[in-house]
Amino acid sequence: MNTDTHVSNRWSSRYAYILAATGAAVGLGNIWKFPYIMGENGGGAFVFVYLLCIFLIGVPVMMAEVVIGKRGRSTPANAMTHVATESGHSSHWSIIGSIGVLAGFLILSFYAVIAGWAAAYVFFAGSGEFSAAAADPATNADAIGALFTDLITSVPQLLIWTTLTIAAVVYVISKGVKEGLETAITYLMPALFVLLLGIMIYSAIVGDFAAAFTFMFHVDFSQLTIEGALVALGHAFFTLSLAMGIMMIYGAYLPKGVSIVKTSMMIAVADTVVALIAGLAIYPIVFAHGLEPSAGPGLLFQSLPLAFGSMPFGDFVGVLFFVMVVFAAFTSAIALLESPTAYLVERQNVSRTKAAIIAGAAVWILSLCTIFSFAGAEWTKLSFGMGGDIFEFLDYLTANILLPLGGILISVFAGWVIKPEILKEEFNLSDTYFAVVLTLLRYVAPVGILLVFLNAIGLFK
């Protein structure tokens, strides 16, 4: 995708747009993060609040972002300026673009480390580690757990994997060789979906599906804390790739006549379905083996390998699975580095290659904080009250603060700054539906985000 300030090319079809946007949305957030934060926050009630956040707040914010991109037909900061002035308002609204650049940069610093874990797991699967570890049913969960602990406490291994990941992302961004990759992902995403379904069915047969289903869908609000509600809200933004200008960039290429409302719904539904299936694949194994739902970031890596270790051709299936996870993560990582790179090119006037290298180097340096956090280094145990180490701090700061803040600004901007006539024309809705959407953007999204947010930082205690 080019970053000229004014874009004139378009997606070849509605389908191409949906695939690309779903590709940006589906990533580690769905397969790695959603299952473990759901476990940490008690299951069903968390899922319920998460679904509300996706459809009442996430979808309207996504529609708003797409409209801004489409009207502005430009990179996020310029699009914001254009649309704000078009409606007679200040260009300071482009601050939304800056929040996105910062969030993308911080997110990538840990995203690349987790993508590195997935890459390492391709090799674990390929060298038969899963089936070896799972050979003795009495100790299999411990052996698979040890495989994970050995990896995350080995700083040299993590340095290699993370460095390779970031270098590959920088290469793709600077050379602009994304087309081939986008073709590959067009096939790999549906393949990942089918494989995930297959794994879910296998888990249902060998694992405790009933326990998993009850855990995920039995809504018991006594299990949910207000902090958990903020995590659900923040994750809705994270998983849909919102508040980072990415949907503005995609919207800028939207052909005429494509329904913003329908496509946004479809993207959100696809993203949610992948997350729920990932949960339904992981939790039957978790409960059957007596693992802890609250195991944290290692959950994916400590549960599914148990299934791979015991299934026919499991090592092969394990390789396939982690290769696809790496690809899903890699395309997200590219989109994440795109915003700081484009920012440097636009604002600091450096060449694209140089910008990608500078941004990549900065991400690499920051990624050391996450690597050492998992390795348990003493100096990472400072987190300014947000989590227990720097990794948890970065995760909290981005998902729970920066993205919701961006979400408030975008919904207020779309609901109050953009002229309603423009919005109505772009959404192409009947009066009643438009009134609903406008209410969501004007009141439900900003007030909802603010309430959850203020509650979580303890203002109403």
User: C-beta of 28: minimal distance to ligand TRP in Å?
Assistant: 4
* 435 token code pair: 């009134």
How crowded is residue 286: how many other Cβ atoms within 10 Å of its Cβ?
A: 27
115/120 with CB nearer ligand TRP = 115
24/401 with CB nearer ligand TRP = 24
User: C-beta of 375: minimal distance to ligand TRP in Å?
Assistant: 23
24/320 with CB nearer ligand TRP = 24
Q: How far apart are the first and last CA of the chain?
A: 47
Whether the CB-CB separation of 207 and 307 falls below 8 Å is answered with yes
Residue type, 129: E
Name every residue whose Cβ is closer than 8 Å to that of residue 43 and which is 6 or more positions away in sequence. Answer: 215, 216, 218, 220, 223, 293
Q: What torsion, rounded to 10 degrees, do the Cα atoms 265, 271, 274, 279 define? A: -110
239/400 with CB nearer ligand TRP = 239
Residue written as tokens 């998983």? 239
Residue nearest to ligand TRP (CB): 29
User: C-beta of 433: minimal distance to ligand TRP in Å?
Assistant: 27
314/406 with CB nearer ligand TRP = 406
User: C-beta of 397: minimal distance to ligand TRP in Å?
Assistant: 14
Whether the CB-CB separation of 284 and 209 falls below 8 Å is answered with yes
Site of interaction with ligand TRP (CB under 6 A): 24-25, 27-30, 107, 238-239, 241, 244, 246, 332, 335-336
Name every residue whose Cβ is closer than 8 Å to that of residue 209 and which is 6 or more positions away in sequence. Answer: 203, 280, 284
34/202 with CB nearer ligand TRP = 34
Q: How far apart are CA 222 and CA 399, in angstroms?
A: 24
User: C-beta of 329: minimal distance to ligand TRP in Å?
Assistant: 7
User: C-beta of 435: minimal distance to ligand TRP in Å?
Assistant: 30
Q: How far apart are CA 452 and CA 163, in angstroms?
A: 37
Helix crossing, 76-86 with 59-72: angle to 10°?
80
User: C-beta of 330: minimal distance to ligand TRP in Å?
Assistant: 11
User: C-beta of 6: minimal distance to ligand TRP in Å?
Assistant: 22
Q: How far apart are CA 222 and CA 312, in angstroms?
A: 41
SS3 315: helix
Closest listed residue to residue 243, CA positions, set 116, 461, 398 = 398
